[in-house]
Amino acid sequence: MRVLKEENSPDIKSYLMEKKAIVDKALYDYFPESADIEPDIIKAMQYSLFAGGKRLRPILCMAGAAAVGGGESDVIPIACALELIHTYSLIHDDLPSMDNDDLRRGKPSSHKVFGEAVAILAGDGLLTEAFSIMTVPGITERILPESLIQVINLIADAAGFRGMVGGQVIDVQSEGKPVDISIVEVMHKRKTGALITASVLSGAIIGGGDKSRIEAIAEYGNKVGLLFQISDDILDIEGDSRVMGKKAGADREKKKNTYPALLGLKKSKQIRTKLLDEAIESLQNFDEKAWPLRRIARYIIERKK
């Protein structure tokens, strides 16, 4: 425990704050207030996009680029696109026919504010805009066209029915039914892990990582993705509703299939620690440029929201 605490030194917090500010600024630039479009759809997209996310996926993308010696600023459009996709998934997950959540990050969820139709369309709009941002004219001045196409494919697969969408289907359909832990693992890996893996991996690809680095980063992403969702499961039990901006204990109330629900808290924490060790281990051949990735893995366990 002592080692963990020491390594979670203030600089990772500064790092996360600094990178979040860069991402927030870029996102604002993509969605200026004065956009000459139907106000409601823009407002609904902005509402969810600027509701106070941690920007973990964009930051992982930037840290992935940095870890292989690439330039962080080159990947910003990809980083922002990842946040748009993540935000769309939250809007759709909260819908009455899905998780029926009224609160998200301490604020009324999109469909409570804009109605169900506009919320669905705001999600659709954010998902689609992600692919517009990644292909905006001039982007190939900074990103190799072939790498860009590879990254779009990677992200689409991670977000779609093979990944996030498929994981959400398992989630919706298994709610309240007893399932095996192997199903929960698959669900977590698809619903959360796939996009987290794609985030760090897309950064490393655009950053110019070689084959062995890319493979190591993929391994890191897989471990961290599952780590993140198990931490989320644990946070739902141990977390403070006020800090999280959403109701603690909601998973149990909805009879969600989570790691703690199936294996208990103690065993879940053991698995989490093992995943953290493996995530760090996967970066053993990386130099100090990978320090944010190493620290982010620890931060995911220690975060309060």
Whose Cβ is closer to its own copies: residue 49's or residue 63's? 49
**Alpha carbon distance 110, 108 (integer Å):** 7
The Cα–Cα gap between 279 and 222 comes to: 8
37 binds its own copies (CB under 8 A): yes
The whole-angstrom separation of Cα 118 and Cα 160 is: 21
| Nearest CA-CA partner of 203 in 273, 147, 159, 123 | 147
- The one among 135, 248, 289, 303 contacting its own copies by CB under 8 A: 135
Dist. CA 226–CA 248, nearest whole Å: 20
Compare residues 195 and 297 and give the one whose CB is closer to its own copies.
195
> Is 136 a residue that touches its own copies (CB under 8 A)?
yes
Burial 85-111 (b: 16+ CB within 10 A, else e): bbbbbbbbbbbeeebebebbeebebbb
- Say how far apart CA 248 and CA 241 lie, in whole Å: 5
Written as one letter, the residue type at 109 is: S
Binding string, 62-91, against its own copies, x = CB under 8 A? --------------------------x---
249 interacts with its own copies by CB under 8 A = no
Residue 29 engages its own copies in binding (rule: CB under 8 A)? no
What sign results for the dihedral spanned by CA atoms 248, 258, 82, 70?
positive
Asked whether position 156 contacts its own copies by CB under 8 A, the answer is yes
Sign of CA pseudo-dihedral 217, 209, 74, 150 = negative
**Cα–Cα distance measured from residue 246 to residue 88, given in angstroms and rounded to the nearest whole number:** 18
If one asks whether residue 140 binds its own copies (CB under 8 A), the answer comes out as: yes
Binding of its own copies at residue 125 (CB under 8 A)?
yes
Chain positions 89 to 118 lying near its own copies, rule: CB under 8 A, are 92, 95, 97-98, 115-118
Is 277 a binding residue for its own copies by CB under 8 A? The answer is: no
Closest distance between its own copies and the C-beta of residue 146, in Å?
A: 6
Which one, 127 or 216, has the nearer CB to its own copies? 127
Q: CB of 194 within 8 A of CB of 211? A: no
Pick between residue 44 and residue 296 the one whose CB is nearest to its own copies. 44
Window 164 to 203, contacts with its own copies (CB under 8 A): 165-166, 168-170, 172-173
Within 8 A by CB and 6+ apart from 36, the residues are: none
Q: Which stretch binds its own copies (CB under 8 A): 38-46, 55-63, 220-228, 231-239?
A: 38-46
Q: Write out the residues near its own copies by the rule CB under 8 A.
A: 37-38, 40-42, 45, 88, 92, 95, 97-98, 115-118, 120-121, 123-125, 127-129, 131-132, 134-137, 139-140, 145-146, 148-150, 152-153, 156-157, 159-162, 165-166, 168-170, 172-173
